[in-house]
Each structure stands twice: as C-alpha cells, then as structure tokens.
Amino acid sequence: ELLRRIKEIERSSAEVIGVTGHGDMDNAIKALKYGAFDYLQKPINVRELAITLERVQQYRILRENYSRLKEEFHQRVDQETRACRGAVDQLREAYLRELGLGDLAVFSEAMRKVVELAERYSLDRSVPVLLQGETGTGKELIARYIHYYGGAQSPFVALNCGAISQDLLEAELFGHDPGAYTGATPTGRMGKLEAAQGGTIFLDEIGEMPLGSQVKLLRALEQKRFYRVGGIKEIPVEVRIVSATNKDLEQEVSEGRFRPDLYYRINVGFIRIPPLRERRESIAPLALHFAQRAFSRRGRRFPGFTREAEEFLCSLNWPGNVRQLRNAMERLAVIGPWDSVDRGDLTFLEGQHQSPEPPVESRPVLGVDQFDLPGDHLDLDSLNRRIIRQALERFGGNQTRAARYLCMSRRVLQGHLRRMREPS
C-alpha cells in the first residue's frame, strides 16, 4: 500500500527498493507490479545492494537522457513542421502567382458564390462561360481559376479584344500565313486560338469585338475548325472558351452591336462578378491581404490598420474595384508608416472615389437671376465666408467634397480658409 501511494504522488521520481525478511514471491511480484525497482531479501548482501544502487543510478541517467531527447525531438518536430508549413505556403503562393491566381482571396458571400459557380463550370470543359463585371473586378482571375481548378496542365491563352483593330484582332486570334497582309511575319504565325489547343482561350472585352470578327469566331466555335488569315488550310481546334465583358451584352444585342447567335453560343455558363461597393464587407480584409503582400515584397512587416483607417477604406466607392484597391496598397507600402496605418496615412485616397454623397436638402437653389441684392451694401467677403462655412458643414468638414461642390480645387479652398483664419 505504501509503494502504491508513493507511485501515485504526481511527478514522483523516487525509485523504491523493497526489502523483506520473508521469501514471499507473491509479494515480490506485487511490489514490482506497483513500480518497485527491485526486491531484496534479508539479510542484506552489501555487494548485492551496491549493484542494485548502481543499476538505479544508471536507470535514472537513462531516464533523464530519454526525457531530454524526447523533449528535444518534439521541439525539433514542431520547428520543422512550422518550417515545412511556411515553405509549403510560400510554394503555394509562388505557384498561384505563376498561374496568375495570387490575388484570389474570398471574403464575402457574394464572392463565395462566384467561386462555387466557377468550380462547377470548370468540371465540364465543353461549357463556354461568360463573365460580366466592371473594370477591375477580377474577371481574368476567375477565368484562370475556371481553367486551373482541378489541376489542368493545358495552356491558358488570353486575348484582349478591345485593344486592337479588326484586322489585327483576326490575325491575333486565328494567326496568319506568310504575306497575308502588309507587315505580316514572313514565316506566318500561330494565332491565340491555335495556341490554346486543348486548353482555354480567354477573350477579354468581347463586347468590343467588331461584328465581322464575331461571325468568324462563331463559325470557328461551331465547326471547331478555322482558317488562318490568308490561309487555305483548315485547322482543327478543341478549346474551352471563357469570355468577359463590362457591358450588358443583352442590350448590345438589342441595339445591333453584338450578334445574338454568338451571344447565345458563349453564354451557356454565366457568372456576374459584383463590384466592391456591393460587397463592402470584403474591402478591409482584401486591403489587409494586399497590404501584407506589398509590405512583405519590400522586406517589411505590415503593422495593420486602425479602426478609423478601415472605416475610411470601407466608405470609399472604389470605381476601379479590386485592381484599384490593390494598387492603393502598393502605394501605401512605398510611402506608408512603420507604425499602424491610421486615417491620416490614407489622405492620398481622398476625393478620388468617395461613396455617393448624402442627398442635399430639398430647398430652392438661388441662381443669378433669382438672387436679390440687399438694399444698402453687400459685403462680398462675408458672403464668401458664409458660403464656405455652410459647404463645410454640409459635408462634415470634408474639404475635398466641399471644394467639389463649390466648383474649385481643394488647394483654392484651403487658401480661402487660411485667409479666413487671418486676423482682420
């Protein structure tokens, strides 16, 4: 019982050697079972006791070494695990950057639905997908995600249909044979459609494609073969087509600027990518995501935003959407502080894209013809000061918006304010 209690003591490191005057084997077995190191019989043999004590000492040394090595092992495992996770994260980020997916970050329910749709469409390569969204919402990013989701190794080829003329567009899209047109490559050249064989061709700004080119693209998609510009040989092609536009193509069709048959052909799968102003909950985490990456590339740790800075970022309208937000964080990484980013560190964003202004009170606006001059005299400086004060009050002290309302630059308004503060 005494042996059992000794061993029950928490963290007890004492080794117990049992001594008895009775040669009872059952008691010896019980003692060893409860943790006795050894069991000796009386009379004690000094040599045997010395050997037992030596064994106890060796055992304690081995146990301490084992505990130390075990702790070092677990520390090393934790250290290597963290290092491996960091390396995997770096490789993953590098891989995503290589694929053009480094900016893909989902922080809102609206974007989760976009990504879910993209994943569904990616499973069937025969489904053409049309992406609709404003400039800077990340249409090419989603197009790449559709292509690469599931580990596709086939080519992804992008072409901006609005950046070049009709003749050059067709040469870029279909390629050309030698001497097809003035300035053509003497050896001919493969087009984007042919280069995307077995993969995905991304046609950005497809709403800008001329009607003549639309006819040829539709024929190539329907027949899965085409001719190079100036060529006589049919080239078979098997590609997935992902198109993108910032226009309402239905309206373009109704107004005769886009072919209805091509519209129905490319609009089997459809994804609308919402602008940032429709998913304001994602602005702050996106800004943090971009800022951390921008600061890290410059060897700095991003200190974080204050609450006032986050609220200011979320109040902006961001007409350039995610692209504009990312570029703003790049600029912040160049000029930003070493401490946490406050509202004052974001003054370079003022007036560029404010949220819609609050409605002006419903009251008559006095024009030149409606303004009656006072009878005795008019203090023009006093009137100017009063107008400026009222404009600042209306816009909560925001000088940029007040200046815009008064049809003057912010610098001119600040000059008026300095003169107003000067003693008469």
Per domain, the residue ranges of the chain are 109-274, 277-349, 380-421
Query: Which residues contact residue 170 at a Cβ distance below 8 angstroms, ignoring those fewer than 6 apart?
Result: 213, 216, 229
Could you tell me whether strands 225-227 and 234-236 are parallel, antiparallel, or unpaired per DSSP bridges?
A: antiparallel
Q: Do the domains spanning 109-274 and 380-421 agree at the CATH topology level? A: no
Question: Which of the four CATH numbers 1.10.10, 3.10.450, 3.30.460, 1.10.3470 does domain 380-421 have?
Answer: 1.10.10
Tens-place pLDDT, residues 25-40: 666 666 666 667 776 7
Binned at pLDDT 50, 70 and 90, residue 222 comes out as very high
What does each C-alpha distance from 291 to 284, 313, 384 come to in angstroms?
10, 13, 42
- Classify domain 109-274 by CATH architecture: 3-Layer(aba) Sandwich (3.40)
Beta-carbon-side half-sphere exposure of residue 236 (alpha carbons within 13 Å): 2
> What is the DSSP secondary structure assignment for residue 40, as one 8-state letter?
E
CATH fold of 277-349, please?
Helicase, Ruva Protein; domain 3 (1.10.8)
- Mean pLDDT check: name the lowest of 107-116, 360-369, 387-396: 360-369
**DSSP summary character for residue 164:** S
User: Any idea which residue has 């401490």 for tokens?
Assistant: 339
Where does the pLDDT of residue 1 fall: very low under 50, low under 70, confident under 90, or very high at 90 and above?
A: low
pLDDT of residue 359 exceeding 50: no
Most confidently predicted of 213-217, 278-282, 360-364:
213-217
Quote the strand ranges of 246-396, DSSP E.
269-272
Cβ atoms of 261 and 219 closer than 8 Å = no
Which residues lie across from 17 on neighbouring strands?
Answer: 38
Determine the Cα angle at 48 with ends 47 and 52, to 5°.
Answer: 115
